[in-house]
Structure 1
Amino acid sequence: MSSIADNIGSVTRRIQKATLQAGRDPGSVRLLAVSKTRPPEDLREAFAAGQTAFGENYLQEALEKIEALDDLDGIEWHFIGPIQSNKTRQIATSFAWVHSVDRLKIARRLSEQRAPSLPPLNICLQVNIDEEDTKSGCTVEELPELVSAIGELPNLSLRGLMAIPDPDQSESELRSSFRKLANALKSLKQECPEAGPLDTLSMGMSDDLEMAIAEGATWVRIGTAVFGARPPKEPQS
């Protein structure tokens, strides 16, 4: 069985190769290790192998890991799961990035609850790129108004867009979804130049990271290829 360090090396080489093949600058794509359900020991092993950015989906689980790993200088926490209004305070104070902001109410609460002593909270807007009924996210059409409003919030830095395309699509459909998100970001840069850096596309996972990078991803969110397959859930009694 490969170690986590070996897996990180393998994924990093995939990212580097895809970046070069896309004609992009080396280092322009970062690896976000999706560590939901993984014990702190796994994250510590990944950190020792040079991985610093970790993505968590579940707040309480994440807070426990943040406390357990607070001795790791330079670790960077990203929240990537759905956000409930009653969870924004802890997210605002505990994370460096939030990839899953999907409405103005959540953005406003994150800004209000971000401590002034902390740097601005980096956020991405989650786009329901394939307009799936079961997915969170705003539509592409809603983005300009949302971006304009968020640009006025003082404690946020609007970095870009995030999407989780439908994994059951064909390869051509999946590539089209990635391209649609990239084009949406390009349009926002032109329409809302004052809104923030708008330099980030959070898209691509273990099975499709090469395709996402070819279409402009700057963060790829990788879980299985870093930590291995998650164990099956135990049946509830």
Structure 2
Amino acid sequence: MGSRSSGAFRERSPPKAGPCKGPVGSGLRIPRLRDRVRDGYPSWMPTDAASRTEHAPMLKDRYEAVLQRVGEAARRSGRRPEEIVTVAVTKNASMDVVRELFDLGHRHFGENRVQQLAARAAQVDEYRDRIREHPGASGRETPDRPNWHMVGSLQRNKVRKAIENARLIHSLDSLRLAEEIQSQSAKRDRVTEVLIEVNFGEEQKGGIAAPAVRHLVDQMGSMLNVRVRGLMCMAPNTEDEALIRNTFDRCREVFEDVRKFIRESDRIDVLSMGMSNDFEMAIECGANLIRVGNAIVGDPVVESGDDEPTPEDATD
């Protein structure tokens, strides 16, 4: 099992390692599962308590199983489980499931659409406020705030709302998008952390070509309000394990190349690879952040008011 999330991103220099053999290293942490799910829910909670308690054991089992697999993959690659951050991609989950995961101690959540990310971040904040205002109802202290990850493609006209809610943007894929993030972040006197999305030849997916990554990092060197934390890639949708590993190996090589290229290489410390079907291979190939959806949250659930899935929602 992983350790409890601190609710923040800490930094340290990633050790060097060959592809599929060792750690990238990172200060990001995955949470340790709490001992049990709460049996009761306060009357003020805006949800169907009976429904939540019914699906909670299955969610807990799936969550424990994923963390167990993460730990085993980490140890196979010579790392500690707590060095791997697991982002629960909740785009297909109900808000009840999000709250259940939060109650289990999970603190990293990913959404594909800015509007849904903002809405759910607000709902979890409200949930935390109610726990703080009514400590006797829940029998526990106010939990740490979660980290929200924007894992879907990001349009420039959605940047303002994204940076107000996302702790990390996983899908930077152009200089124009970087410039908009810089502009909106400067207006708010904040630094926004991003991952550059790398595409290894799949036209239907977003991202930039591997040879262009170093140039984009160089172009962003003067941007004071955008910080590149690392790279993100998605493996092809195939059962060919060799092809999947090859994609992860290539992304790891680009990651190491970028770290050698820039002066302050310590700031590039996140390699985001792997989803429900391939996260163990990704960890073995060097990933220190994975994005897991259905393996944790179960089959898709479309809530009333949710946007319909869009073609770019290919993150799990």
With normalisation by structure 1, the TM-score equals 0.92
Q: Calculate percent identity across the aligned residue pairs.
A: 30
- 1:18-51 deviation digits (Å, cap 9, x = unpaired): 0001112331111000011322221110011111
What is the identity, as a one-letter code, of the residue corresponding to 1:66?
Answer: A
Q: Does the alignment pair 1:19 with 2:67?
A: no
Give 1:80's match in structure 2, choosing from 141, 151, 154: 151
Letter in 2 for 1:167: N
Contact 1:158 1:196 in 2 (8 A): no
Matches within 5 A, 1:43-192: 43-71=98-126, 72=128, 73-114=144-185, 120-129=191-200, 131-168=201-238, 170-192=240-262
The answer to whether the 8 A contact 1:32-1:221 is kept is: yes
Partner of 1:212: 282
1:219 to partner: Cα distance: 0.7
The Cα shift of 1:207 comes to 1.4
1:166-215 Cα deviation digits (max 9, x unpaired):
11251001000000000100011111233661111111011111100000
Residue type at the aligned position of 2:177: I
What residue identity is the alignment partner of 1:87?
Answer: K
Work out which of the residue numbers 90, 93, 97 in structure 2 matches 1:38: 93
Amino acid at match of 1:38: A
Change in 2 beyond 3 A, CA 1:85/1:96: same
The number of aligned residues is: 234
Secondary structure of the residue aligned to 1:74 is coil
- Counterpart of 1:193 in structure 2 is 263
Q: Distance in 1 between matches of 2:219 and 2:265?
A: 9
Q: Given residue 90 of structure 1, which amino acid in structure 2 is its aligned partner?
A: K
TM-score (norm 2): 0.70
2:6 equivalent to 1:6? no
Q: Which runs of 5+ in 1 are unaligned?
A: none
Q: Tell me the distance in 2 between the aligned counterparts of 1:210 and 1:77.
A: 22
The code of the aligned residue for 2:175 comes to L
**Aligned pair in 2 of structure 1 residues 46, 180: CA closer, same or farther (>3 Å)?**
same
**Contact 1:93–1:113 under 8 Å retained in 2:** no
For the residue of structure 2 that corresponds to 1:168, the secondary structure is coil
Structure ID, larger Rg: 2
Q: Structure 1 pair 213/179, CA: closer, same or farther in 2 (3 Å)?
A: same
Higher relative contact order (CA 8 A, sep 6+): 2
Shift in Å, 1:55 = 0.5
Structure 1 position 154, deviation (Å)? 1.1
What is the CA-CA distance between 1:9 and the residue it aligns to? 1.2
Higher mean Cα deviation, 219-228 or 70-79? 70-79
